[in-house]
Amino acid sequence: MRSRVSFTAGGVRCAGHLYLPAGSGAVPCVVLCHGFSGTMDRLFDYAERFAAEGLAALVFDYRSFGESDGEPRRVPDIGGQLADVRAAVAFVRGHERVDPDRVLLWGNSLGGAHVITVAADDPRIAAVVAQIPFNGFPKQVEGRSTVQTLRVLGAIVWDALRGRLGLSPYYIPMVGHPGELAVTATPEAGQHIQTLTGGESTSWRNSVAPRGLLQMMRYRPAGAAARLTCPLLVCVAAEDQETPLETTRVLAERAPRGELRVYPGTHFTFYTDPTFRDGVVADQIDFYRRAFTTV
């Protein structure tokens, strides 16, 4: 069963969908958190899989994204998004079908950093899955020239300046082809965009305010990982250029109860290959079930 829900974070309404398995008793609940420019509809498949295994699942949009309120639109703000995650956890803990001591966090890309950060300050979180998580930018982005890097930096600074002046955001594409001005420029761009814009009632737009990248330059969830008291599973791709293995593996190594799973493929394989995704989710469900034995 899936129902539309909403909750408030810092005075902003966040929209979501709550999936509940059959039955009437209290069950564990997975709170799923999307990435930098993502929207919750891209996580429906994950939530359905978790619900089919007897877990409740909440997907939601961060403020200014998708179906949630917040102006200006599509402006990533780390502090605001962390507040949204905490409000989502509080919402499910208050639901009659959710066991408040078996709330599980799941995050993708930047959302993977968020769930580690939130769980580090919430000892009641039962377990965390961080999928292709952000842990700092790579020193050099493969295939991006110095000129292209300067163009992106220029867009970031210009958008941040417009924000300080109270002007409308300077939007750039989230995903573009090599050589284009975009947050991520990759040969897989066309396939990735098609995947993100397909499916039921997608609200994702290939447009984002790049000022949020300034905050990410100072964002390091590895320190939070070292403070985790619950189990952590980090799922990464061996050929990932956006959240490379050398940075993401640190999260599992720092966590006292961390596990690392490395899969073949790239950052975008997690989005574009349904068969691959099914195997990853099966591993994540097994991890969550093992975590229950320690709760």
The Cα 177–Cα 169 span in angstroms is 22
pTM of the full predicted structure?
0.95
Reported as a single tens digit per residue, the pLDDT across 161-192 is 999 999 999 999 999 988 899 998 888 777 77
Residue 281 gets which letter from DSSP?
Answer: H
**Pairing of the two strands 232-237 and 127-131:** parallel
The Cα 283–Cα 141 span in angstroms is 29
Q: Is residue 206 part of a domain?
A: no
Assess whether pLDDT exceeds 80 at residue 195. no
Task: Give me the percent of the chain exceeding a pLDDT of 90.
Answer: 80
In whole numbers, what is the pLDDT of the chain averaged over residues? 93
Reported as a single tens digit per residue, the pLDDT across 266-292 is 888 888 888 999 999 999 999 999 998
Q: Is residue 201 part of a domain?
A: no
Q: Which residues contact 77 (CB under 8 A, 6 or more apart)?
A: 63, 64, 212, 215
Domains in the chain, number: 1
Domain harbouring 231, CATH code:
3.40.50.1820
**Mean pLDDT, residues 114-135 taken together:** 98
Assess whether pLDDT exceeds 80 at residue 212. yes
Q: Is residue 177 part of a domain?
A: no
Q: Is residue 105 part of a domain?
A: yes
Assess whether pLDDT exceeds 90 at residue 293. no
Q: CB–CB of 37/74 below 8 Å? A: yes
